[in-house]
Amino acid sequence: MPAHSLDLNFAPQDDSVFRDRWQALRAAGLPSLADHRGASNAPHITVLTASRIPADVLERVRAHFAVALPLPLTLNGVVVLGSGPFVLAEHVIAPPEMHSLVEGWQRLVDGGSQRLRPWTPHVTLAKRLSASQVGRALAVLQDRPAPTTVTATAMRRWDPERKTSTREA
């Protein structure tokens, strides 16, 4: 079943920086999120994913970000995720209390599961890269440095069943 998600979107100037990095990868003939034309495709940080997000959990997350946004975040460089094919992403340093909140929300939607993966806040740049493509992508991105801080300004909800993205906070 496709995952519903709650994501943080960025201020326009930060959004355009990520899109520029996507385009640079595409121009180099590499996989890039610039290739994804769907309505859900915007630079974002996924806060929560689940097969279903109950109304009470949605309200808790919505209430938090209604107060927390705009939220300045620190970028900590490019990271390679996975064991192949790889994901290339900008690593985001979120406030420690946000990690605790996200873990609590994830436990609520997962029925209290004790086997949660730790939340790794990031902005995806490219998916399904081979090891050699990762090296080429890192070289391309070196010429297009990311800022050290970005600002999350909105929260959206992605509904894969309806294929809709709705601003929630």
Q: What is the dihedral of CA 21, 23, 27, 28, to 10 degrees?
A: 30
Q: Give the pLDDT of residue 46.
A: 95
Q: Give the pLDDT of residue 155.
A: 97
Q: Give the pLDDT of residue 143.
A: 87
Q: What pTM does this model have?
A: 0.92
**Contact call for residues 75 and 91 (beta carbons, < 8 A):** yes
Per-residue pLDDT averaged across 144-158, rounded? 93
Between 21 and 111, name the one with better pLDDT.
Answer: 21
CA distance 142 to 160: 34
Q: Give the pLDDT of residue 41.
A: 82
Indicate if the pLDDT at residue 154 is higher than 90. yes
In the block, tokens 């906070």 appear at 169
pLDDT in tens, 18-59: 999 999 999 999 999 998 766 568 999 999 999 999 999 999
**Contact call for residues 154 and 25 (beta carbons, < 8 A):** no
Q: Give the pLDDT of residue 40.
A: 66
Cβ within 8 Å of residue 103, ≥6 positions away: 116, 118, 119
Q: How many residues does the chain have?
A: 169
**Contact call for residues 153 and 11 (beta carbons, < 8 A):** yes
Q: Give the pLDDT of residue 149.
A: 95
72, with CB counted inside 10 A (0-12, 13-18, 19+), is exposed
Indicate if the pLDDT at residue 6 is higher than 80. yes
